[in-house]
Chain A
Amino acid sequence: MWKKTEKWKPGRLGTASAGYGVQDSETGAVGFAKKQLAHREKLASDLAALVGIAVPVVAVDHVEGIEGLHAISVAHGKESIDLSLMRDRLAGRFNSPEVTDALKRASGMLPFHAWVATQDLKDEHLVVAADEAHAYDIAAIDFAYSLDLSAPDGGPVLPPAGPPSLIVNVDKGIVAATLERIETVTDEQIRAVVQALPIELAGDDEKERLTAGLIGRRGKIREVMQKQGWMP
């Protein structure tokens, strides 16, 4: 059971990012719960897991005392910070070789964003987790503005316009490897992930649109990555 918690209570955000801190009474983990566009958060997280992209696990569940299902994005690491705050307030770390390496390792997010048509691409949506050994691990968050795929085949694939720190640190080998994983995801796998969305979050028509869109876009990413010069 997820409950609002006094142990992590950040202020509310605006628009589609609005939500609140919650805690799982069984595991103790905290997460950020959102009601708006919850199906997109869940679907993006599940698709990311399918192709090896770091996106925090999203649970779809109720929050005690609040009506309706929420997408609950579980915290990324014991300690984390978004890349924008790191750039502005911890510039020494941001410019370190360790963070640059972590950004390069995260290059697979670019073909993934192209696949799911993420529109809100900024450094604030890259979360850096750090451990005692100065190892950094970067995850993508906030997919509220994604997966708006037009029928019948998901529409044209456009190159991601960000996040800026990813684009200036592209590792072509990682882009290629991620693209290969996306291209080898089967229709059945895509259908299964989409169908797993609760009916309260996405009806049959929406699920069909999403499934057809993801299948259709899967084969259009390579050309875009090549044109961007992001492939070996």
Chain B
Amino acid sequence: MNSQGRIMQAGVEFQPNLQNPRKPVRLGVLLLTSSGDGVLLGRQPMLERKPPEFADVGPMSLELAADWVDSMWKDILEANKEHVFLRLNERWRWNLYVRPLRVRTDSEQQDLLTLAKQVYQKFVGEPFHIPVRRRQSARRPRAHHAPRHRPAERIVVPASWLVSEIVKRSSMLGLAATA
């Protein structure tokens, strides 16, 4: 998927304590093009083996963070023709929030997923490993739009994180990521 036009970028962060804030935990990135393509890459804490960054986080916030990729993607879909980032800013503005990053205009024809991985590595501070695609079962084909949740390579990602990727195209979703 090559990018077309302007690319809006945002980071997703988690601030564990709004009354005594510390360095936020960086969870992922979202890239949307003006033509409506979108990539959301993120890592989520696992409920049973939460990472140290979530050590003193309560169950409500942990539950939200443990599924934020799917949850946020639903909000992107529901934004329909609205300004997607405005919708996300209204919804995600508490401990887990969307942080605007710069708009890119120099990435014409660059593969959006490759670009998103670069932005993820720079923002989160570790490489994003695309989950290995397994051969589809004939009896249980995966839904075309289903997010892929696979543990990334053990060496890179601690066992307490689940890495997730969602890639969509506007022609199927009717997204309007206008600047």
Contacts and interface: CB of A to CB of B under 8 A. Distances in A.
Nearest to A76: B18
B64 A81 contact: yes
B91 interface: yes
A196 interface: no
B139 interface: no
Interface stretch (A23-31, A44-52, A108-116, A172-180): A23-31
A79 B99 contact: no
Contacts of B71: 89
B21 A79 contact: no
Interface string B53-67: 000011111011001
Contacts of B95: 79-81
Interface string B97-108: 111100000000
Nearest to A130: B60
A156 interface: no
B118 interface: no
B22 interface: yes
17 contacts: A7-B15, A8-B97, A9-B99, A11-B98, A13-B90, A14-B86, A17-B90, A30-B15, A32-B93, A77-B18, A77-B19, A78-B18, A79-B16, A86-B60, A89-B71, A128-B60, A130-B59
Interface string B10-35: 10010111111111100000000000
A13 B93 contact: yes
A124 B89 CA distance: 12
Nearest to A99: B60
A7 B67 CA distance: 22
Contacts of B123: none
A206 interface: no
A30 B19 CA distance: 6
Interface string B79-101: 00000011011111111011110
Interface in B89-143: 89-95, 97-100
Contacts of B63: 90, 93
A132 to B, nearest CB: 5
Interface string A1-26: 00001111111111001000001000
A9 B99 CA distance: 6
**Most B Cβ at <10 Å: residue of A6, A9, A14, A88:** A9
Contacts, number: 104
B87 to A, nearest CB: 10
A7 to B, nearest CB: 4
Nearest to A6: B24
A32 B16 CA distance: 16
Contacts of A54: none
Contact of B58 (A10, A32, A79): A79
Contact of B98 (A10, A32, A75, A127): A10
B94 A82 contact: yes
Contacts of A128: 60
B64 A8 contact: no
A195 to B, nearest CB: 30
A101 interface: no
A139 to B, nearest CB: 12
B117 to A, nearest CB: 22
B53 to A, nearest CB: 14
Given A5-B21, A30-B21, A75-B18, 17 more contacts: A7-B22, A7-B23, A10-B89, A11-B93, A12-B100, A29-B19, A78-B17, A78-B19, A79-B16, A79-B17, A79-B60, A79-B95, A80-B94, A90-B60, A130-B61, A131-B58, A132-B58
B19 A134 contact: no
A201 B109 CA distance: 50
3 tightest CB-CB pairs across the interface, nearest first? Answer: A11-B89, A75-B18, A10-B97
